[in-house]
Structure 1
Amino acid sequence: MPAATDDNTYGVQPPGLDFKDSNTIPLPPPKHFQPSLRYPSSRKTIYDRNLSRPSSTTSLASFAYIFNTIITYHHAKSGSVSEIETRLNRAGYPIGIKMLDLLLYRQSGKAVRPIRLLELLQFIHGALWRGLFGRAADALEQSTSKKNEYMIVDNEPVVNTYISIPREMSQLNCAAFVAGIIEGVCDAAAFGTEGVTAHWAEGDEMWPGKTIFLLKFQEKVIERDEAIKASVG
């Protein structure tokens, strides 16, 4: 009697099961793999916002909390007041670079950078301050002794409103963060500076938190601006 062999050896398929007469239940065919991570279909993200339309007003409490966290972080990393201000300046610098194109686009629909120095200063005094704080800065002045130095005055910077400074660190001005934003705007507009710093305006009883932002432009910027002025008029 020949040995038993598998029917598949000769290419013969085993008989199928008759589900009508058996107790087995057929299973549905496997579905295609679907990832478990779901993506929002209706909820919009920050990338869907219209750049031409200014965003709604940010909560002052939220801003104060985040900014205090930034100051606490840099304070822990620093060993002096000047180092804290330098760190805050560096933190604000990249914001200024992005703010220039954003605000110019909202103004005219395309990024057209200022050509004259006065145009840039008026842009910072007006458009930048309104974009950041909802109002223009309080004053724009030029130094009487040095033609490359300009000052933007803010009587009550919002970045200093909810900051409690210890007595031993009374020289610290957290508006150095805003000074970094200004410096970023200047560099992005090709108006190089030797630095932008924030200083307390002493002796003003009406505005104890009054801050002066000192902009020191490079000499080549002044020379270029004078050349443009001479060629125009």
Structure 2
Amino acid sequence: MSAIQRQKSSNLDKPLSKGKAEINVATFALLFSEIVQYCQNRVYTVPELQNKLSELGQHVGNHLLDVLFLRERGFKRETKHLQMLLFIKGTFWKTLFGKDADKLEQANEDARTYYIIEKESLVNKFISVPKDKGSLNCASFTAGIIEAVLNGANFPAKVTAHYHKGTTFMIKFDESVIARDKLLDGK
């Protein structure tokens, strides 16, 4: 066996590394501004642009889900929605943005609705919104990632981004998620 063959087989046998928990903000800002510009050139309205960003975020979220559970949890998945939200607020957010999300709150009037609050969203930090697109919230990209992760982990939900106390991600779970949790709790 040649040295190259030994090296190839040994590289394949190595476990996945955890990688760095750091992001290069300048690189991210440049890449994300190009993503926004790419999407903007393919739509006509702000809601269409936000939907396009959300769709791209969902692609990212679909690919992140398995990697996160493999690296961080050894394939152990959450069974209750609150534990999944805490995973997103902590481990998931730290993987994407280098820190935990600022807050997780439940809506007073609706057991299916939760809010993840980020005082200064990284995706909005470096984007200058033109006056004609004043309501644009580029955090729709992050909302798409969150939605894909929740849906892929069997917690069907719709996630939207809003300006409120910074950037607020409103997570509205499907009724089946709450019903499943009640069954798991024996209520």
Under a length normalisation based on structure 1, what TM-score does the superposition of the two structures give? 0.72
Give the match for residue 215 of structure 1. 171
Q: Displacement, 1:161? A: 1.0
Counterpart of 1:135 (choices 99, 104, 112) is 99
Q: In percent, how many aligned pairs have the same letter?
A: 38
Alpha-carbon distance in 2 for matches of 1:214, 1:121: 12
Counterpart of 1:57 (choices 22, 30, 33) is 22
Q: Contact 1:88/1:174 (CA < 8 Å) preserved in 2?
A: yes
Alpha-carbon distance in 1 for matches of 2:122, 2:95: 13
One-letter amino acid of the structure 2 residue matched with residue 151 of structure 1: Y
* Higher normalized helix content (fraction of residues): 2
Q: Displacement, 1:104? A: 1.9
Alpha-carbon distance in 1 for matches of 2:14, 2:120: 31
Structure 2 unmatched runs, 5+: 1-6
How many residue pairs are counted as aligned between the two chains? 180
Counterpart of 2:162 (choices 192, 199, 209) is 199
Give the match for residue 81 of structure 1. 46
Q: CA 1:160–1:112 in structure 2 vs 1: closer, same or farther (change >3 Å)?
A: same
Q: CA 1:68–1:50 in structure 2 vs 1: closer, same or farther (change >3 Å)?
A: farther
Q: Are 1:173 and 2:137 matched, yes or no?
A: yes
Q: Are 1:224 and 2:187 matched, yes or no?
A: no
Alpha-carbon distance in 2 for matches of 1:121, 1:165: 30
CA RMSD of aligned residues (A): 2.2
Task: Mark the structure with the bigger radius of gyration.
Answer: 1
Q: Displacement, 1:79? A: 1.0
Give the match for residue 66 of structure 2. 101
Structure 1 unmatched runs, 5+: 1-41, 205-209
Higher RCO (CA 8 Å, separation ≥ 6 residues): 2
Q: Displacement, 1:116? A: 0.6
One-letter amino acid of the structure 1 residue matched with residue 168 of structure 2: I
